[in-house]
Amino acid sequence: MNAPDRAAVRPMSEIDMSSWWMPFTANRQFKASPRIIAQARGMYYYTPDGREVVDASAGLWCVNAGHGRQEIVDAVAAQLGTLDYAPGFNMGHPVAFEFASKLVDIAPAAFDKVFFTNSGSESVDTALKIALAYHRARGDGHRTRLIGRERGYHGVGFGGISVGGMVANRRMFANSLLPHCDHLPHTHDPERNAFSRGLPEHGGAGFADELERLVALHGDTIAAVIIEPVACSTGALVPPKGYMERLRSICDKHGILLIFDEVITGFGRLGTPFASQYFGVEPDLFTTAKGITNGAVPLGAVFMKGTIHDALMTGPEPMIELFHGYTYSGHPVACAAGLATLDIYEREKLLTRGATLEQEWADALHSLRNCPNVVDIRNLGIIGAVELAPRDGKVGARAYDAMVAAFEAGVLMRYTGDTLAMSPPLILEGKHIDRIVETTRKVLASVA
C-alpha cells in the first residue's frame, strides 16, 4: 500500500484543539505537546508532516487487517448509497441478517445466535443482561450476582465497570456501581511466572478455585462470571495453564454462566478466530467489537449458544422476548463494513495467521529481557507486554516516557501503568517485528 497524499492533510496550525475532551487522556499534558496522526495505510500511521509510524497497537487493538483497506471503503460507500439507515426495532434489513450468518460460520459450532451492539462496552452490558434474563426465564431469578476479576477491563458502562477490576476506572463512580458484584483475583504472579513464553506454568487451578470460595460465600445467587481470556488493557496478563479449564468446570458444577470478553482477543489476535478456540474451552456467551469491522465503523456483537437464546423464546409470540437494544444495533453501514472485513480475513487467512508468527514474535519480544528496568515480558498469540520497574513515587511515568519516545522514533504502542503493550495488525511481517523491537530496545535505554 502506498503512503497517503500529504496534500490532503489540513495543517495543525488551523485546528483548534480546545473543544474535544479526549477519552482516557491527560488532556492538559497532551494538548501542551500533542501527538497527532493524520493518515494511515497498511502497517503505518502518518503524522501531519508525513513522518511514518509503525502501528504496533492495531489502533486500539482493532485494526487487525491493517489500515486503509479499499474493500471496506467501497463497501461502506456502496451501502450508504443503497440504505444508509434502517431501524432494528420490528424492522430488518438484509445486510444485518447476512452478517450475523457469516459471523456464526466462524464461531464455535454451538454459538448460533448473535446480538448486535455498537461497542465493546455495550457488548458487555448486553451479555450481562442476557445472562440475568436467562436465569429469570428458567425460574432462577434469585441468580442476580455477577462475578468479574481484579484488574479486569470490560468497558465503561456501569455494568462493565462494576464487574471490571481496574481501580482507576471505578474510583470516581464507586458509590454508584451495580450491587451484587464480586471479583476473582487476577492471575498475575510475577514471582513464579515472570518472563513466561505463552501460558505461564504456575497457579492456574489455584486462581480458578477462588470461584469456589465465592460460591461458598454467595450460594446459588451467582448468575455469571465474566473474564477476558487475556486481560489486555491492564497489561496483557496471560492466564496460567489449566485456569480456563478449571473455571469452566466450576461454572458447570454450580450452574453459573461463563462469559468471555473477547473484544480484544476476537478475530485472530491469538491465531484462532476466537480465544475459546485457542484454549479449547467454550464459554456460554462471548462479547466482541473492535476487529469485527477492522476498526472502520463502530460495531459490536454478543455471541451466545442457542440454548441461551431459546430459553427466552417463551410466552405469547407477539411479546418482545428481551427488552433491550440500541438505535444502531445492526446498523447497515457497520454491517457492510463487517462483511468486507470478514472477506479480507478469509482471503488473507488473517484469523489464523497469528499462529504462524507467534514464535517469531515471542523470540523478538523476549530478546528485550536484559534491557534496563525490564521486570517481565509476556506474550500470547500476537499480543506482547514489556513491564518496567516504576520510578520511585511515579508509577506509570517511565512507561509513559517510553511510549512518547517510541512514537517520536516511529513506533506507536500503548502503555498501561508501567507496561508497554503491543498488538500489531495481523498483516505484520518480520521486518515490522524487527523495527518494533529494535525501536523499543533503544527507547528503553533512553528512558533508563
**Per-residue pLDDT tens over the stretch 23-53:** 999 999 999 999 999 999 999 999 999 999 9
pLDDT at 3 over 80: no
* pTM reported for the whole predicted model: 0.96
pLDDT band at 115 (very low <50, low <70, confident <90, very high): very high
pLDDT at 4 over 80: no
- Per-residue burial over 355-373, b if 16 or more Cβ lie within 10 Å, else e, is bebbeebbebbbebeebeb
Q: Do domains 6-65+350-446 and 71-347 have the same CATH topology?
A: no
**pLDDT value for 8:** 66
Domain spanning 6-65+350-446: CATH 3.90.1150.10: yes
**pLDDT value for 327:** 98
Q: What are phi and psi of 420, to 5 degrees?
A: -90, 125
pLDDT at 231 over 70: yes
- Over residues 120-138, the mean pLDDT reads 98
Percentage of residues in the chain having pLDDT higher than 70: 98
Grid cell of 276 as nine digits: 475459546
Give Cα separations from 19 to 29, 31, 47, 97 (angstroms).
Answer: 15, 11, 21, 39
71-347 fold: Aspartate Aminotransferase; domain 2 (3.40.640)
Q: Evaluate whether 126 touches 115 at the Cβ level (below 8 Å).
A: yes
**pLDDT value for 1:** 52
Grid cell of 438 as nine digits: 529494535
- Over residues 340-363, the mean pLDDT reads 98
**pLDDT value for 11:** 74
**pLDDT value for 352:** 98
Q: Which of 155, 60, 66 minimizes the C-alpha distance to 423?
A: 60
**pLDDT value for 244:** 98
- pLDDT, one tens digit per residue, over 253-288 is 999 999 999 999 999 999 999 999 999 999 999 999
Q: Evaluate whether 48 touches 70 at the Cβ level (below 8 Å).
A: no
pLDDT at 132 over 90: yes
Q: In what order do the strands lie in the sheet with 52-55?
A: 39-41, 44-46, 52-55, 411-412
- pLDDT, one tens digit per residue, over 413-433 is 999 999 999 999 999 999 999
Within 137-206, strands assigned E span 145-149, 181-184
pLDDT at 343 over 70: yes
**pLDDT value for 442:** 97
**pLDDT value for 284:** 98
Q: Evaluate whether 265 touches 232 at the Cβ level (below 8 Å).
A: yes
Task: Give the HSE-up count for residue 240: Cα atoms under 13 Å, Cβ half-sphere.
Answer: 19
**pLDDT value for 7:** 58
pLDDT band at 337 (very low <50, low <70, confident <90, very high): very high
β-pairing, 44-46 vs 52-55, is: antiparallel
**Residues contacting 152, CB < 8 A, separation 6+:** 163, 164, 165, 166, 183, 186, 226, 227, 228, 231, 234, 261
Give Cα separations from 18 to 9, 26, 199 (angstroms).
Answer: 19, 13, 45
**pLDDT value for 2:** 59
3-7, 208-212, 309-313, 324-328: segment of lowest average pLDDT: 3-7
Give Cα separations from 123 to 20, 179, 230, 373 (angstroms).
Answer: 25, 20, 17, 37
Length of the chain: 448
What does pLDDT average to over the chain? 96
Percentage of residues in the chain having pLDDT higher than 90: 96
Residue type, 133: A
Give Cα separations from 142 to 127, 222, 370 (angstroms).
Answer: 18, 8, 53
pLDDT at 334 over 70: yes
* Domain segments of the chain as ranges: 6-65+350-446, 71-347
pLDDT at 63 over 80: yes
Residue type, 430: G
User: Is 275 exposed, middle or buried, given 0-12, 13-18 or 19+ CB atoms closer than 10 A?
Assistant: buried
